[in-house]
Amino acid sequence: MDCRQVTEVMFLFADNEMEEDLLVAFRAHLDDCPPCARQMDYTRQLLALVRERCCRQQAPRHLRDRILMSLPHRGRKPQLEKQ
């Protein structure tokens, strides 16, 4: 795995979503490449900050309904999650 490939999948690793077959090569590259290891540290810190500072807000029901009604299913009101 090279630096470009590592950069492309860094967020997958940070979110624990990386496929098992990539993990060994990814970790080996980080062990051997200080710039990528620093970038991984930065990515982790960035994600931690974003998660800490951003709270998830749900759109008001009327707005969600209006958006869903405008989607290609044209007029069929999809099942919405119960709140």
- Residue 74 confidence (pLDDT): 52
pTM assigned to the model: 0.61
| pLDDT tens, position by position, 17-41 | 998 889 999 999 999 999 999 999 9
Number of helices (H), then strands (E), belonging to the chain: the values are 4, 0
Average pLDDT over residues 30-58: 91
Q: How far apart are CA 4 and CA 56, in angstroms?
A: 31
Per DSSP, 41 falls in state H
Q: How far apart are CA 22 and CA 29, in angstroms?
A: 11
Domain ranges of the chain: 3-70
